[in-house]
């Protein structure tokens, strides 16, 4: 019988991704209710040191696969190693973060082990039938749907970053590390990584940021994003953009929030000069607190905003920056 709740431990530059610790925290909560065990799957090269942290956040076991071929994330060897592990151990549930790697990896693993996959989930529970029941937005966030996977195992889901609360790390909780030998040496791998070019902008990653300040067509030009960047530095925030701002060439596409951009769920989202089209809301409506600055009282963004500021953003944003500067320096 399938047993145990597993998570995929994504990492970069020697650190676990925040979303992996969030889903591990959620897995721990579900496991405590269901009387199950939590395991994390950790792949890479020279990553054994991360296993301890996984223990602190609730993993009872860490399946550790180290190999030169696994040094950098590539979907072919990663999906094979994970699918082999699942076939051998038959977990009941397998959760991944809905970040770039998780979205790439999850469907490949699901196809290899012949199970279903619910993507981009925002809440999870174990229902009265003992099944994992996930809730996810559909139709660009206009509706939510409950999904269960009654027969195939494991029950798989990717979870949106920043929606699950992090557990406080418990340094007394140690994980048993199970070293596995990945069968990847003979694999034909189509992707070779020649070089990894790091983002040197120093800006906070959009999908993991606690605070995002986004600008839309109301910014009126690329140079005016400097006022958002100044506020962002103060608040340790990332700067996002609407598609109108991206299509105008004011920001790079990787900063676009929305249906055809990034899906984000920060603690605070500040929308500046963004009307609130349904395709933009699809990417940010699960943010905890939404502040909208717009000079049009009828702008649809105000329908979902927790705090609505009606005014000219070129007057409002500098006032916010000045106030935060004073408060934070105090």
Ligand X SMILES: Cc1cc2nc3c(=O)[nH]c(=O)nc-3n(C[C@H](O)[C@H](O)[C@H](O)COP(=O)(O)OP(=O)(O)OC[C@H]3O[C@@H](n4cnc5c(N)ncnc54)[C@H](O)[C@@H]3O)c2cc1C
> Could you list the residues that contact ligand X (CB under 6 A)?
216-218, 242-245, 256-261, 273-275, 277, 279-280, 283, 293-296, 299, 312-314
For residues 267-293, b (16+ Cβ closer than 10 Å) or e, as one string? ebbbbbbbbbbeebbbbbbbbeebbbb
Asked if 119 contacts 158 with a C-beta cutoff of 8 angstroms, the reply is: yes
Q: Which CB sits closer to ligand X, 77 or 161?
A: 161
Asked if 267 contacts 211 with a C-beta cutoff of 8 angstroms, the reply is: yes
Q: Which CB sits closer to ligand X, 74 or 262?
A: 262
Q: Which CB sits closer to ligand X, 83 or 278?
A: 278
Q: Which CB sits closer to ligand X, 161 or 258?
A: 258
Beta carbon of residue 249, minimum distance to ligand X (angstroms, whole number): 13
Cβ contacts of 59 within 8 Å, gap of 6 or more? 7, 24, 38, 39, 40, 51, 175
Asked if 79 contacts 94 with a C-beta cutoff of 8 angstroms, the reply is: no
Q: Within 13 Å, how many C-alpha atoms sit on residue 268's CB side?
A: 12
Q: Which CB sits closer to ligand X, 154 or 261?
A: 261
Q: Which CB sits closer to ligand X, 155 or 294?
A: 294
Ramachandran region of residue 37, left (φ > 0), alpha (ψ -120 to 50) or beta? Answer: beta
Beta carbon of residue 262, minimum distance to ligand X (angstroms, whole number): 8
Q: Which CB sits closer to ligand X, 85 or 263?
A: 263
Q: Which residue has the tokens 């034909």?
A: 188
Q: Which CB sits closer to ligand X, 32 or 296?
A: 296
Q: Name the residue among 36, 138, 144 with its Cα closest to residue 90.
A: 36
Beta carbon of residue 285, minimum distance to ligand X (angstroms, whole number): 12
Residue 222 vs residues 160, 210, 211, 244, 246: alpha-carbon distances, Å: 29, 24, 21, 12, 9
Beta carbon of residue 321, minimum distance to ligand X (angstroms, whole number): 15
Beta carbon of residue 279, minimum distance to ligand X (angstroms, whole number): 3
What's the rounded Cα separation, in Å, for the pair 232 and 86? 42
Where are the extended beta strands (E) located within the chain? 5-8, 11-12, 15-16, 38-44, 61-66, 93-97, 117-121, 123-126, 132-138, 143-147, 155-159, 176-180, 211-215, 238-241, 268-272, 289-294, 307-310
What's the rounded Cα separation, in Å, for the pair 129 and 163? 25
Asked if 68 contacts 45 with a C-beta cutoff of 8 angstroms, the reply is: yes
SS3 21: helix
Q: Which CB sits closer to ligand X, 180 or 278?
A: 278
Beta carbon of residue 158, minimum distance to ligand X (angstroms, whole number): 19
Beta carbon of residue 95, minimum distance to ligand X (angstroms, whole number): 26
Beta carbon of residue 220, minimum distance to ligand X (angstroms, whole number): 7
Beta carbon of residue 134, minimum distance to ligand X (angstroms, whole number): 23
């Amino acid at each position: 019988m399938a047993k145990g709740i597993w998570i995929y431990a994504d990492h970069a530059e020697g650190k676990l991704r925040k979303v992996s610790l969030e889903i591990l925290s959620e897995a721990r909560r579900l496991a405590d209710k269901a009387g199950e065990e939590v395991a994390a799957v950790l792949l890479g090269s020279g990553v054994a040191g991360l296993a301890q942290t996984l223990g602190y956040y609730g993993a009872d076991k860490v399946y550790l696969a180290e190999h030169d071929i696994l040094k950098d994330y590539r979907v072919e060897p990663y999906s094979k190693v994970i699918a082999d592990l699942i076939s051998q151990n038959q977990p009941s549930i397998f959760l991944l973060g809905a970040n770039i790697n998780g979205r790439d990896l999850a469907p490949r693993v699901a196809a290899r082990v012949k199970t279903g996959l619910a993507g981009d989930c925002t809440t999870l529970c174990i229902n009265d039938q003992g099944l994992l029941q996930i809730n996810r937005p559909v139709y660009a966030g206009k509706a939510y749907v409950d999904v269960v996977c009654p027969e195939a195992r494991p029950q798989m889901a990717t979870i949106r970053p920043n929606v699950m609360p992090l557990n406080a790390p418990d340094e007394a909780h140690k994980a048993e590390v199970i070293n596995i030998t990945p069968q990847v040496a003979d694999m034909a791998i189509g992707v070779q990584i020649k070089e990894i070019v790091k983002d040197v902008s120093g800006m906070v990653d959009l999908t993991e940021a606690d605070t995002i300040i986004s600008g839309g067509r109301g910014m009126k030009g690329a140079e005016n994003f400097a006022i958002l960047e100044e506020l962002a530095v103060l608040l340790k925030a990332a700067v996002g953009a609407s598609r109108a701002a991206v299509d105008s060439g004011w920001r790079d596409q990787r900063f676009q929030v929305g249906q055809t951009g990034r899906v984000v769920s920060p603690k605070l989202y500040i929308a500046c000069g963004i009307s609130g089209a349904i395709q933009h809301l699809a990417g940010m409506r699960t943010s905890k607190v939404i502040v909208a600055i717009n000079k049009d009282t009828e702008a649809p963004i105000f329908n979902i905003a927790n705090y609505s500021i009606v005014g000219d953003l070129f007057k409002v944003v500098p006032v916010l920056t000045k106030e935060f500067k004073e408060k934070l320096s105090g």
